[in-house]
Structure 1
Amino acid sequence: MKSQLKGGAILSYLGLFINSAISLVYIPIMLQVLGKEEYGLYILATSVVGFLAVLNFGLGNALIRYSAKYRASKDYEGCYNLYGMCFLIYSILGVLAFGIGMILINNIDTLFSLSLSENELKKIKILMMIMIIGVSAEITFGIFNVIVLAHEKFIFQKALVIITSLLNPILVLPLLLLGYNTISMAVVTTSLSFFTIVINMYFSLKIIKVRFNFKKFDRTLFKEILTFSVYIFLNLIIDKIYWSTDQLILGVYSGTAAIAIYTIGTAFTGYFLGFSSAISNLFLTRVTTIVVNGKVGDELSNLFIKVGRIQYIIISFVLCGFIVLGEEFISLWVGEKYENSYLIALLILIPLVSSLIQGIGGTILQAKNMHKFKSMVFLSIAIMNVVLSLIFVQFWGAVGAALATGIAFTLGNTIVMNVYYWKKIKIDIPRFWKNILMMSMPMIISVILINKLNSFYTVNSWGMLIVKILVFSMFYISLMWYVALNNEEKALVSKPVIKLISKPFNNRNDFKVDN
């Protein structure tokens, strides 16, 4: 079990690195071969069909939970009844997804007639049909992927994800270079979905050797699963509304080129979210222990500030680097035609910082069973984002959509949630922001000085950009070390380094004297 967890964790980070590397290489080639309009059309189709994916209803979490319960009590017959019932539910949801997808295709002309040409409308229908088949199949047979996770076969599951991630560009790039378009991309992606389904099905039936019992339908268990899944389903909907609606609105009012520009700008959001969540998850046990023992107030505030400072050290470094060098990076990466992508990224990332450095707040709310308020806030800002985007897009296009997202996030996740943490959870929010403000001095100084450097040396090659990144990194890290970090934070960095350096010497026996 420990080896599965450790291997799965290593492969998770490896997969994150591989996906990031693939994006850096893959996206510029796609843009160059396809052009903004064709690429934007593909993203629009993906965004529309992506809403169907929420129809898995979040059943996977419930299936894992109840599967573990039955297996712990060695009630294998109950486990097989659970699998049979969930397979029927997944199948119904898959058919439902396909039916809704067909309704969407039949109404595409009405939705996007203002911004898409007749040829684009025809092509997006083909793209959506291919993608809908894939999504419907993924929902219908998604139970096999969940079974693999429920049996804690993390190494196999993560390895399969990495393999499919690598296969996608390996298969698509030759087709693009031979002159094929986005339809070939959709066919490859859907084919890989079926490949994953077949592999998971084989692994579940032949290696894990699970069985499905369709004879008994437990109504009580069915109600429990639905009750458990409703909250997860709500979060899936909120997430889709917040992060995917802007592309649809741009598709209605601004066209496919605006979608491409917006997508490049928002591509950096995922990296920032990954940096934050990786740290927050490490403190889940600590937070739960504090809450269970009733030790709130100063102890919870101290932990909130401690974790927030550590997150800010990393987030501010990445954000500061992007502020001073992001525009040049995007120009080298995808071309000067995407200059607005830099502004779009800043409008979303800067308001996002507050949420990222307070990621442990969500963990605290879960430990205190008070997370419903945050869900309601997120639902409110998701709706606000849609309303503001509908207005702003008509004036400022893709930049307007990003501005709406930034405003909604600032009002909901920064202002409302900080007041809630302060007044309801009794976390010392004023002291938190005082700490963050003091730590921001190296960031402000670095931005000013590196921008001054930018005025003298314009980047026109990757080599020059790498030199600037190194200069910025050394300057920023030095300032942060001597100005902002406390002794405990310095120890977090220095102790592992000292241990790594001293380890080879500790293992040597060269200086031992034989008797």
Structure 2
Amino acid sequence: MMKNRQLKVGGMLSYFSTILGYMISIVYTPVMLRLLGQTQYGLYNLVYSIVSYLGLLSFGFGSSYIRFYSRYEVKDDRKSIAKLNGMFLSIFVIIGIVSVIAGLVLVKNTGVILGNKFSNKELSTAKIMMIVMVINIGITFPGIIFNSYLSAKERFIFQNLLQILRQVASPLLTLPMLIMGYGSIGMVIITTIVNITVIIINIYWCLKKLKMRFIFRQYDTSLFKEIAIFSSFIFLNMVTDQINWNVDKFIVGRYKGAVAVSIYGIAAQINTYYMSLSTTISNLFIPRVNKLVASDSETSDEVDSLFVKVGRLQFILMGCILLGIFIFGRQFIIIWAGREYTSAYPILLLLATPTIVPLIQNLGIEVQRAKNLHHFRSWVYFLVALINIVVSIILVKQYGAIGTAFATAMALIFGNIIVMNIYYYKIVKLDMIRFWKEIFSVIPAVIIPAIYGYFLMYFSLVNSLKDLVVYGIIYLLIYFCSMWLFGLNRYEKRLVTGLIGK
């Protein structure tokens, strides 16, 4: 009963957190862009994309924790869990120290890394930002184990309340810094302070409320090897994600400068919000997938049903958002960020459109990990990502930021869609025919709102914030009604009426 409450209330809080984050971003980002300017914002994006590569030093250990925790949880083996906690904390403390050392090397070579498109003042600002970000990521690593433990214990309510606190605190504290003229340096300082505060709260909750235990001796070396092998393939996925979502900024900055990075950064930021909505659903089911696979009573039909159920819910939501991006995206960017960011619209379409397929299937990633079948995916994504780098460098010289976005889109279509759907069907033994039949059964419900959107675009009816709000609300109502009549099944209708009732 407790876990069901965590799942339902945690899910509602998760979406509230996401929507609140969007609302705050809608208000905060335009102010931030105008206070920073295109160059400072582009520099911030570029430095962030470089330092984020230090996150790869986690080697995927964080994502593997829940799988091994679930193995002991089903057996109620508290001592093994305590040893697992001790092992992971030791690993992350070491990784945190290594990341700081590696980060200081990056700081020393800032000019070499960024190239000759930046002034001495911009390089000096980048160096200070890099120092603060390196400290931030060094502290973040030891905190991973506590956040992973909360997820494994399915404490979704607490996690999402803390996320809401983070979302509100960051802009409220950052704006005064920007107004006082501290620029991008002030932004990263506030981000670091908020992040450290959240980590401290997580640690307190795990130790005092959940009685999290650690044993720092008698490590099982065979278990460590198993974790390392398992995590190494997650690490390859992390490298791939960094290449697909961050290397473009570095390539654009290297060849086209800070302003081009700022334009690409706006498209990437909106795309990140778009992707995060999908994971808010699937993240709630990660512990359940691992326990299903770890349990002796697991059947393929149970896993298939959960995969299809979550996939349909994700498609209904993500389809609404993607269609909305096509209809309102260009005008939203102009109103929200400014007319100088108009060219971010085609970049956004290239990034968001092919992403919808892996987003509605992201529970399949957890099924692979739970079954220890994620190796192939890791290698495929990694090789495709390397090709993406080469093609991006070739295209950026002639087509700029949109060229790198096109290369990323092609990589996603080939690797994440074509190859992985074959792998899901042949090796992971997920019923992909059933999955796609269920997805295609929802598509007719999208036709009516799509026609409405075409009408709006053809006659250019959205030209102001008022138009965006009014026509956007009408679009949502049309989409919901069409989906209710032609798309939702009985389970999904009961889910909606239950939520409305509550």
The verdict on how the C-alpha distance between 1:450 and 1:160 changes in structure 2, with shifts beyond 3 A counting, is closer
Write the distance in 2 (CA, Å) between the matches of 1:226 and 1:499.
43
Write the distance in 2 (CA, Å) between the matches of 1:153 and 1:192.
21
Instruction: Name 1:165's counterpart in structure 2.
Output: 167
Q: Is the 8 A contact 1:273 1:356 kept in 2?
A: yes
Q: Whose radius of gyration is greater, 1 or 2?
A: 1
Write the distance in 2 (CA, Å) between the matches of 1:141 and 1:256.
32
Write the distance in 2 (CA, Å) between the matches of 1:309 and 1:350.
17
Q: Is the 8 A contact 1:51 1:240 kept in 2?
A: yes
Q: For 2:23, which of 21, 31, 34 is the aligned residue?
A: 21
Secondary structure of 1:243's aligned partner: helix
Write the distance in 1 (CA, Å) between the matches of 2:424 and 2:203.
45
Instruction: Name 2:235's counterpart in structure 1.
Output: 233
Q: Is the 8 A contact 2:308 2:435 kept in 1?
A: yes
The verdict on how the C-alpha distance between 1:146 and 1:350 changes in structure 2, with shifts beyond 3 A counting, is closer
Deviations 1:388-435 (A, max 9, x none): 111111111111111111111112223323444566678786897688
Letter in 2 for 1:356: L
The verdict on how the C-alpha distance between 1:228 and 1:176 changes in structure 2, with shifts beyond 3 A counting, is same
Deviations 1:250-304 (A, max 9, x none): 1211111111111211223234334444555669769969x954669xx96x997
The verdict on how the C-alpha distance between 1:449 and 1:58 changes in structure 2, with shifts beyond 3 A counting, is closer
- Structure 1: segments with no counterpart, 5+ residues: 505-515
List aligned pairs for 1:451-470, cutoff 5 A: 451-456=454-459, 458-470=461-473
Q: Is the 8 A contact 2:103 2:134 kept in 1?
A: yes
Instruction: Name 1:35's counterpart in structure 2.
Output: 37
2:248 paired with 1:250? no
Q: Is the 8 A contact 2:237 2:378 kept in 1?
A: yes
2:385 paired with 1:382? yes
Write the distance in 1 (CA, Å) between the matches of 2:496 and 2:74.
42
List aligned pairs for 1:366-381, cutoff 5 A: 370-381=373-384
Write the distance in 2 (CA, Å) between the matches of 1:129 and 1:232.
27
The verdict on how the C-alpha distance between 1:12 and 1:470 changes in structure 2, with shifts beyond 3 A counting, is closer
2:474 paired with 1:471? yes
Write the distance in 2 (CA, Å) between the matches of 1:226 and 1:366.
13
Q: Tell me which of the two structures has the higher relative contact order, counting C-alpha pairs closer than 8 angstroms and 6 or more residues apart.
A: 2
Instruction: Name 1:340's counterpart in structure 2.
Output: 343
Secondary structure of 1:262's aligned partner: helix
The verdict on how the C-alpha distance between 1:264 and 1:378 changes in structure 2, with shifts beyond 3 A counting, is same
Letter in 1 for 2:107: I
How far off is 1:127 after superposition?
0.3
Q: Is the 8 A contact 1:57 1:230 kept in 2?
A: yes
List aligned pairs for 1:414-429, cutoff 5 A: 414-421=417-424
Q: Is the 8 A contact 1:91 1:141 kept in 2?
A: no
How far off is 1:185 after superposition?
1.1
2:348 paired with 1:324? no
- Aligned-residue Cα RMSD (Å) equals 3.9
The verdict on how the C-alpha distance between 1:220 and 1:495 changes in structure 2, with shifts beyond 3 A counting, is closer
Write the distance in 1 (CA, Å) between the matches of 2:474 and 2:244.
37
The verdict on how the C-alpha distance between 1:202 and 1:481 changes in structure 2, with shifts beyond 3 A counting, is closer
- Structure 2: segments with no counterpart, 5+ residues: none
Write the distance in 2 (CA, Å) between the matches of 1:250 and 1:363.
33
The verdict on how the C-alpha distance between 1:130 and 1:497 changes in structure 2, with shifts beyond 3 A counting, is closer
The verdict on how the C-alpha distance between 1:176 and 1:40 changes in structure 2, with shifts beyond 3 A counting, is same
Deviations 1:347-398 (A, max 9, x none): 1112223333444654665576543332222222222221211111111111
Deviates more, 1:93-102 or 1:203-212: 203-212
In the superposition, the TM-score normalised over structure 1's length comes to 0.82
Letter in 2 for 1:375: S
The verdict on how the C-alpha distance between 1:215 and 1:425 changes in structure 2, with shifts beyond 3 A counting, is closer
Write the distance in 2 (CA, Å) between the matches of 1:253 and 1:56.
30
Deviations 1:298-352 (A, max 9, x none): x96x997776555444333322222122111111111111111111111111222
Letter in 1 for 2:100: F
Q: Percent identity?
A: 38
Deviates more, 1:160-169 or 1:194-203: 194-203
How far off is 1:460 after superposition?
3.6
The verdict on how the C-alpha distance between 1:107 and 1:413 changes in structure 2, with shifts beyond 3 A counting, is same
Write the distance in 2 (CA, Å) between the matches of 1:449 and 1:101.
50
How far off is 1:91 after superposition?
2.2
Secondary structure of 1:179's aligned partner: coil
- Paired residue total: 496
How far off is 1:33 after superposition?
0.6
Write the distance in 2 (CA, Å) between the matches of 1:234 and 1:246.
18
2:352 paired with 1:353? no
The verdict on how the C-alpha distance between 1:136 and 1:400 changes in structure 2, with shifts beyond 3 A counting, is same
2:80 paired with 1:95? no
Instruction: Name 1:508's counterpart in structure 2.
Output: none
Write the distance in 2 (CA, Å) between the matches of 1:347 and 1:312.
18
How far off is 1:244 after superposition?
1.4
Deviations 1:125-166 (A, max 9, x none): 110001101111222454444455556554444333322222
Letter in 2 for 1:470: I
Q: For 1:409, which of 391, 398, 412 is the aligned residue?
A: 412
Instruction: Name 1:53's counterpart in structure 2.
Output: 55
Deviates more, 1:399-408 or 1:219-228: 219-228
List aligned pairs for 1:105-254, cutoff 5 A: 105-149=107-151, 153-208=155-210, 214=216, 216=218, 218-254=220-256
Write the distance in 2 (CA, Å) between the matches of 1:303 and 1:66.
21
Q: Is the 8 A contact 2:448 2:478 kept in 1?
A: no
Deviates more, 1:170-179 or 1:233-242: 233-242
How far off is 1:179 after superposition?
2.1
Write the distance in 2 (CA, Å) between the matches of 1:282 and 1:69.
16
Write the distance in 1 (CA, Å) between the matches of 2:73 and 2:300.
33
